[in-house]
Structure 1
Amino acid sequence: MSNKLDRRKKYTRMVLKESLMKRLQEKPISSITIKEICELADINRSTFYSHYSDLYDLLYQMEDEILEDISQTMVSCSYTEDEEAIQMTTRLLEYLAENREICQTLFSEHGDPTFQKKVMMFAREYVLKTPPIDNNSTDRETSEYLSLYIANGSIYVIQHWLNNGLKQSPEEMAELIIKLGMKGLSSFQ
């Protein structure tokens, strides 16, 4: 009986998440109602409220799951050499490609800007673990500005990649992101 209940609970949460993602592709969360989500999921409102307090609770739980997955993807990587940075970035991009629809939706104009900032700050922490771009930029403040610049730029490059059909492989994109992050535009001249 307990196993059946767990399956039902998982199914209900899955269809609610899918329904929210479908609506977020069309409009921002502030314009979405619980009634819409329940109708799309074919679930009644009381069932929704037995799982989530509101739409933001559902959205934040989805975002937390993605951040946890990303964290698990990145935690096993080392950040001391360019090759390892490319491998880590490739693994992250593979994760994003595998979860393209949800990631593309959450990074879209209708996605939660708070989530985008969380991802940026998360990426920034990993950028700070990489060696400085040159030996002269070792002061902490400069490193922080540099990491913010690289993390924000990388997120927008990834957004563009997701929105344009993943034309390049994760490996190609990882090399591009690392090349831009470590050597900037001068590496293309």
Structure 2
Amino acid sequence: MSDKRSRRTKEQLTGALIKLLLEKSLSEITVTELVKEADLNRATFYLHYENIYDLFQSIEDDLFLQVKSWIRSASPNDATIFHVEMGLDDKPYLPVLGEVFSFIVSNRDTAVVLLRNPESKLLNRIYGEGRKMIIQQMKSEGNISDPHRLTYSIDYVVNGCIGIIQSWINNGLDADPINMCKITSDLVMQNRIDLTF
């Protein structure tokens, strides 16, 4: 099978699984149902994946790699991920949060399916990657005088942001990304933790 054809087949299977996951849980989806939705046959499915969970993991891995790449390039060269800028309303905001909310909207169905699904480890993986990046950055700058305070401060900020993202998704993405960035930035800034200790 050519790479282009293989890629198209995987896209069909991915799209079909995401569509089905918007309606039911992963454990309720059968290969037969999936291939019918994708307009493919079972043999084609098994050329690419061992089972439904393998396909689900592949979707999660692909999105995680996109997010990981994005996290690594999200902050300016010499700024932390907590880089602050002034908005048009003269209020400070965290650009990285705007990028997070926009990314979720751009990948709406995939993000919603993965972030709502108990089988998904995506948020834990993203959290781990972001946390690792922040700690590495702080170590390289020699700004860690109290490692325990740094660890708990990062946990506090990141878990709060994750909670807001989950609530936003559970509420059907009821606010636009710019508004969510403002709300979350305001909350982070009100509870400002100096991560440069």
Please list, as runs of the form range in 1=range in 2, the aligned pairs for 1:45-124 lying within 5 A after superposition.
45-76=42-73, 77-78=75-76, 79-80=79-80, 81-83=83-85, 86-108=94-116, 110-124=117-131
Q: Which of the numbers 160, 165, 173 marks the counterpart of 1:158?
A: 165
Q: CA deviation at 1:166?
A: 3.5
Q: CA deviation at 1:120?
A: 2.6
Alpha-carbon distance in structure 2 between the residues aligned to 1:16 and 1:40: 8
Alpha-carbon distance in structure 1 between the residues aligned to 2:174 and 2:145: 36
Cα deviation 1:82-128 (Å, max 9, x = unaligned) = 229712221222111111111011111x3524223212323333554
- Contact (CA 8 Å) 2:68, 2:126: kept in 1 or not? no
RMSD of aligned alpha carbons: 2.7
What SS class does the counterpart of residue 121 from structure 2 fall into? helix
Alpha-carbon distance in structure 2 between the residues aligned to 1:23 and 1:168: 25
- Contact (CA 8 Å) 2:22, 2:113: kept in 1 or not? yes
Aligned length: 176
Please list, as runs of the form range in 1=range in 2, the aligned pairs for 1:13-32 lying within 5 A after superposition.
13-32=10-29
Q: Give the TM-score, by structure 1 length.
A: 0.78
Amino acid at match of 1:22: K
Amino acid at match of 2:94: I
What SS class does the counterpart of residue 112 from structure 1 fall into? coil
- Flag structure 1 segments of 5+ consecutive residues without an equivalent: 132-136
Q: Give the TM-score, by structure 2 length.
A: 0.75
Counterpart in the other structure of 1:134:
none
Structure 1 or 2: more helix by fraction: 1
Q: Which of the numbers 179, 185, 192 marks the counterpart of 1:178?
A: 185
Amino acid at match of 1:24: L
Query: Cα 1:142–1:28, aligned 2, differ >3 Å: closer, same or farther?
Result: farther
Q: CA deviation at 1:129?
A: 6.6
Alpha-carbon distance in structure 2 between the residues aligned to 1:183 and 1:29: 39
Q: CA deviation at 1:13?
A: 0.7
Counterpart in the other structure of 1:149:
156
Alpha-carbon distance in structure 1 between the residues aligned to 2:160 and 2:130: 11
- Contact (CA 8 Å) 2:64, 2:122: kept in 1 or not? no
